Structure 1
């Protein structure tokens, strides 16, 4: 074992940098891994920080000048050249001895996710204020790189990325639900407008087509106006009163076939449409009645509660008497 040699060691993002004094290449791997947060079982590769030259030979390591800066690569990490800004002169003195920097190295300012990682490291709750683009950029970062930037173990970083993905998924579901609701409301408004317009047109047509003084057809029991509506071509079931619909359904296919003079298929189709329209109206009536019943029950409960309150208020005075 030779003389102890001062050198520097950093991780692949150059965010963490430490000064060491080691006697050998193997000792550099052990102590460097310890400082950078790697476990002793994690295999690491030693390269020169400035050009990525792999250092495996002990003699070559000993021949290197003092304070040479090495980079330890873990698993799938790869060396990349230093990306400088301001002509490469503004950050030449950033290396420090035995000092961990909490600020992202200027070499990596070009990566937006690093600024987000620093923000997240300072306050995890800041994820609430991040946009979907910011969250997606953090999810897309390789787990080892994000773990290094945050100073978290890889398992914890992986869980964090899964949480960020769930936040993204929830926001997407909320956005889709909002769009679906807006489409539904527009469809309802459009349908209501068409229904009102159709009802108005049909009312005008009925009043124009049917003169006053219509008589009851003795053979069928229907008013002549009802027979005219039934023989109409455009949704006759919607133009009849509820009483007329009940009468049509009660007559049955055979009777209505004779009254209208149609074939059985056409008559059956008309009766089915009349029955469907009648059921729809009856359901609406039931809903309204149910709502009225609930309202009356609520009013009765409120009156009962007020009465009980008044009786409780009067009891002390009655006891005194």
Structure 2
């Protein structure tokens, strides 16, 4: 028992911290992983909590003083210095990402957007998986503090919040479009049933095959065609795959499919192409930012 060294272990957010007494570095990894709730057998890296020094040597471990605090990291996690807050308002060490509980004003520590901001700093593409509530929380966050949390300049943080608001607006438009489409389909189905009772058999045979031919020959689903014939910005209500199909078909083919004149069809395709280009640019921007963040992370850990 005398050979056991008392230590402290924490995870990379410093939200969990435990005291352990272990005789070796390997035992520290095992005990620390158990207390921190890591999966059994999952590889971890041990670093000094105060400066991020990687501890791999048993002799070096034994030379460290008692009650040294270690941080256990998973493969994609990285060490970051502690961020301190002066008076609850002045953010220091703006490139860091974590808060020390005993030095942070309680109102800042309880901010609901803080964990979301940490996710963004780790991977900006996580925006895609966030709920509407999470996005709204980030939009409502103070831009100055958000900038410090994600390591952006304040102007860039404001632009990020504008982008998040656009994502929320688009999601709302998509929900409204789906609701309108469902109402429209119900109305069409009801009207079609009434007309079927009143129309002649010859007329029914002349119309239905034509509709089926448009759908099969064009390769478009009926929903896509109905959206394209809508009056208000139909290009924003199509998926990226649908936009690519529309743009690829060209003006002449879409003119036949939609039954519109050349001017309206050309304007519609130009709007679809502009929307497709904007989406592809957004995807490329997110991929570029993700690559830069991963590169910075790898440099910081090396």
Q: Would the TM-score normalized by the shorter structure come out above 0.5?
A: no
Q: Which category of TM-score, normalised to the shorter sequence, fits these structures? A: 0.3 to 0.5
Larger radius of gyration between Structure 1 and Structure 2: 1
TM-score by length of 1: 0.33
